Amino acid sequence: MIFSQGRCDMVRVTDMTHGRPIRLILLFSLPLMLGSVFQQLYTIVDTIIIGRGVGMQALASIGAADWINWLVLWGLQGFTQGFAILAAQEFGAGAYDRLRRVLAMIVKLSCWFGIAVTIISLLLVRPLLTLLHTDPAVFGGAQTYLYVQFGGSLIIIAYNMAAAVLRCLGDSKTPLLAILAASFANIALDLLFVMGFGWGIFGASFATVLAQLIAFLLCLRSLRRLPFVQLTKADWKTDPAILLHLCRLGIPTGLQMSMITLGGMVLQSVLNGFGVVFVAGYTAANKLYGILESASVAFGYAMTAYMGQNRGARNAARIDAGIRAVLVLSAEFTAAIVTAMLLAGKPLLGLFLSTEEAGAADALAVAYQYLMVLMAFLFALFMLQAYRSSLQGLGEMTVPTLSGFAEMLMRMGAALVLPTFIGQSGVFFAEGAAWVCAAALNLVWYYMRIGKIKREMLQ
């Protein structure tokens, strides 16, 4: 239900404690899917302009930086998403005075985390690239890309904080509109900085940071319009109990996301030994996959909001209906995505590689083979997002965090071991193996705990 009047005169926020779960989850997720697609356009446009306008070596530079960039980006997303879970629970309970205090503490924590991450990440760029055995031919470009990205960490965490709070309050449309505006700005800035000014990798990375700033300002504007989010001076008084609760939710989620990327960094280290052509093909497939995973990520965000609000409202009867609904939607979207990639995967991958450049045909073959392996494991990714996000929305943080550790170990193990037995293509199976392992852990724990959780909600 979307309110124009009533509970605190809410605008655009959605109460997920009433209505058909499958309809709520789908309608909530669709804007998130579109927003995620356009967010991926930040990196997609960078890749196309760099790959076709600057060259394959520059494309490989961005690919070599990807996992290190994701280590920080996903960690920041995890922290803010964890913080927003408490906001969803207070919103579901209708506790608006406490919700305002929670939001003020989220802003404080996000600023502290953002400053710390900026300093630490900038200091670690060169050591991490060296640790990953980055090819000297692409080291300088990867370093430039990461310095610009990490220099904008405060902007990145500010946007993710605002978007996470809006999503957990049931507003999935404002983040979509913010990303739409930012995407068009990103394209224009890419063309200006890279093609016009000749700034190369620096220009593409700087354009992405500026686009995130635009997205943050639009989300902030929407938050400030919500009557029940008008913070007073008293709300900003430091509340140790709320800060501790937020840390209990945010730190495990941030660590879980960061641990996932650590496994990817080992994978990147293995890839870097396969040469520029292989890395370029792998990078192209990963960029396309970033769009394809948007549906699973959107369903995950939807389940965090759905479970968080219903936990806060103590509406135990809706928990089972919600998980059934998201599994049905996951199966349908998996079938549609796999079919589309079987029909159009190769032409789409060709957008990222200049056919006139030496090695492009080999890179395209690598990209398509990797894409097909990802499609074989896609439903496992949907299940992972559904169960892990549901547990997090219910306040269960331990196993989702441990599953991130298991995902890291599986990704690392597969990347190191499988190429020994089946050649370079063995690294393609690292992602799928990690998804299956982590999905199984969250699924088993969900059904072990859900009975007790529902009984606690009814007390």
Helix-strand-coil split of the chain, %, nearest 5: 85, 0, 15
Q: What is the pLDDT of residue 127?
A: 93
Q: Which helix (H) or strand (E) holds 7?
A: none
Q: Output DSSP code: residue 51.
A: I
Burial 318-327 (b: 16+ CB within 10 A, else e): bbeebbebbb
Q: What is the pLDDT of residue 1?
A: 35
In angstroms, the CA 219 to CA 225 distance is 10
**Backbone phi, psi, residue 2, to 5°:** -105, 130
Radius of gyration of the chain (CA): 21
Q: For residue 116, with 0-12 CB atoms within 10 Å meaning exposed, 13-18 middle and 19 or more buried, which class applies?
A: exposed
**Backbone phi, psi, residue 395, to 5°:** 90, 5
In angstroms, the CA 310 to CA 385 distance is 18
Q: What is the pLDDT of residue 342?
A: 95
Q: What is the pLDDT of residue 4?
A: 34
In Å, how far are 23, 28, 321 from 20, measured between CA atoms?
Answer: 5, 12, 9
Contact 31, 176 (CB under 8 A): yes
Contact 24, 306 (CB under 8 A): yes
In angstroms, the CA 450 to CA 454 distance is 6
Supply the pTM of this predicted model: 0.78
In angstroms, the CA 176 to CA 222 distance is 12
What are the structural domain ranges in the chain? 7-458
SS3 state at 315 = coil
SS3 state at 347 = helix
The residue type at 430: A
Q: What is the pLDDT of residue 435?
A: 95
Task: Look at residues 225, 113, 239 and name the one whose alpha carbon lies nearest to residue 173.
Answer: 225
Task: Look at residues 245, 280, 213, 310 and name the one whose alpha carbon lies nearest to residue 82.
Answer: 245
Which stretches of 169-239 are DSSP H helices?
173-190, 200-224
Q: What is the pLDDT of residue 9?
A: 42
Contact 197, 149 (CB under 8 A): no
SS3 state at 456 = helix
Q: What is the pLDDT of residue 74?
A: 83
Contact 103, 236 (CB under 8 A): no
In angstroms, the CA 305 to CA 251 distance is 18
Task: Look at residues 204, 207, 270 and name the one whose alpha carbon lies nearest to residue 51.
Answer: 204
In angstroms, the CA 448 to CA 148 distance is 45
> What are the per-10-residue average pLDDT scores of the chain (459 residues)?
38 77 93 78 69 73 81 86 86 84 92 92 92 84 92 92 87 86 86 85 88 93 84 90 91 82 76 83 85 91 91 88 96 96 91 70 90 96 96 90 89 90 89 94 96 86
Contact 336, 422 (CB under 8 A): no
Q: Which helix (H) or strand (E) holds 378?
A: helix 378-393
Q: What is the pLDDT of residue 41?
A: 67
